[in-house]
Amino acid sequence: MNEDPGSTSGPAHRKWWDRLGHLFSGEPRNREELIDELRTAQANGLLSADTLPMLEGALRVTELNVDDVMVPRVQIVMIDVDAPLDDILAAVVESGHSRFPVHGEDKDDILGILLAKDLLKYFGNGHDFDIRSILRPAVLIPESMRLNVLLAEFRRSRNHMALVVDEYGGVAGLVTIEDVLEEIVGEIDDEHDDEEEPDLMHAQADGEWIVDALTPIADFNEEIGASFSDEEFDTIGGMATSEFGHLPEVGEQIAIGNFEFHVTQSDDRRVQQFRVVRR
């Protein structure tokens, strides 16, 4: 038996690998040709749907400058070095940020970076507060710096934020490591980003419904015109699993009231999704 994994990939795959190998082994070619080759790899099943956008993003950061992704100056939450502790705490809570540039006479006079966690020691002991003593050094970078260079600098220095300065030395904006990574992997939601409510029910053209098992019974009743009680169970999944009397598998179905619940997704811990049909 031939154990060479390359021998099972077929002529089409070998041809693609030959072309990609030539691309890297020969003289450098343009970026568009490389991206075309990567897209061909995805079409041939050699790259997953998630991998291709990340590879394209990794190539893109070598072309973008800091000023392409930075938060502009007018949107930066800065703290005056002479601000009282109560005002600083209010700014931290309201913004939800964890790092803040601290300025002196004006917003171009950056004295350092305040980390919100460094304020914890002053809770209940505000009379000893001295903001200058807890400031971290500010990292200043030019607008023209390439994102790949900045990412390498973030990794080297272990900083997560940098202030962007213009040609005159004034603050033009702010950039974080998250801003750079989002160019590679796409939008990254943190705990302070506004979250959209997930859409747990999807009406189908044939009058059936695809329903997430975590759908609250009250929402299900309102959306589909049912009247199930939510006194004992909160979710459709909990109610249906109780009626089954066991953890159902994909393909099982049960009639409850005027509806049939067909299990379409489940794992070894819970039901995940139903197809619901009105009887």
Contacts (Cβ under 8 Å, ≥6 apart) of 276 = 208, 209, 210, 211, 224, 259, 260, 261, 262
Question: Which candidate, 140, 143, 166, places its Cα nearest to that of 153?
Answer: 140
Interval 197-212 mean pLDDT: 85
- CA atoms within 13 A of residue 90's CA, in its CB half-sphere: 6
| pLDDT averaged over every residue in the chain | 80
Give 100's pLDDT tier (boundaries 50, 70, 90).
Answer: very high
Give 123's pLDDT tier (boundaries 50, 70, 90).
Answer: confident
**pLDDT at residue 81 in the model:** 94
Q: How far is CA 7 from CA 43, 107, 264, in A?
A: 20, 64, 38
**Which of helix, strand or coil describes residue 164?**
strand
**pLDDT at residue 105 in the model:** 92
Residue 104 clears pLDDT 70, i.e. is over it: yes
**pLDDT at residue 256 in the model:** 95
**Which of helix, strand or coil describes residue 122?**
helix
**pLDDT at residue 75 in the model:** 86
Residue 27 clears pLDDT 50, i.e. is over it: no
Phi, psi of 30 (to 5 degrees): -75, 160
**pLDDT at residue 28 in the model:** 40
Residue of higher predicted confidence among 212 and 43: 212
Strand partners, 100: 114
DSSP state of 235: B
Give 63's pLDDT tier (boundaries 50, 70, 90).
Answer: confident
Q: How far is CA 106 from CA 77, 103, 109, 265, in A?
A: 13, 6, 5, 58
The pTM score is: 0.52
User: What is the Cα–Cα distance from 64 to 54, expressed in whole angstroms?
Assistant: 15
Interval 221-240 mean pLDDT: 89
Q: What is the DSSP string of 76-115?
A: ---EETT--HHHHHHHHHHH--SEEEEESSSTT-EEEEEE
Percent of the chain with pLDDT over 70: 77
Virtual torsion, Cα 233, 234, 238, 242, nearest 10 deg:
10
Q: Which domains does the chain have, with CATH numbers?
A: 67-185 (3.10.580.10), 201-278 (3.30.465.10)
Task: Look up residue 140 and give its two tokens.
Answer: 């200043």
Interval 245-252 mean pLDDT: 88
Residue of higher predicted confidence among 196 and 209: 209
Interval 146-154 mean pLDDT: 87
**pLDDT at residue 121 in the model:** 80
- Lowest average pLDDT, out of 23-27, 36-40, 58-62, 202-206, goes to 23-27
Residue 22 clears pLDDT 80, i.e. is over it: no
Residue 65 clears pLDDT 90, i.e. is over it: no
Residue 174 clears pLDDT 80, i.e. is over it: yes
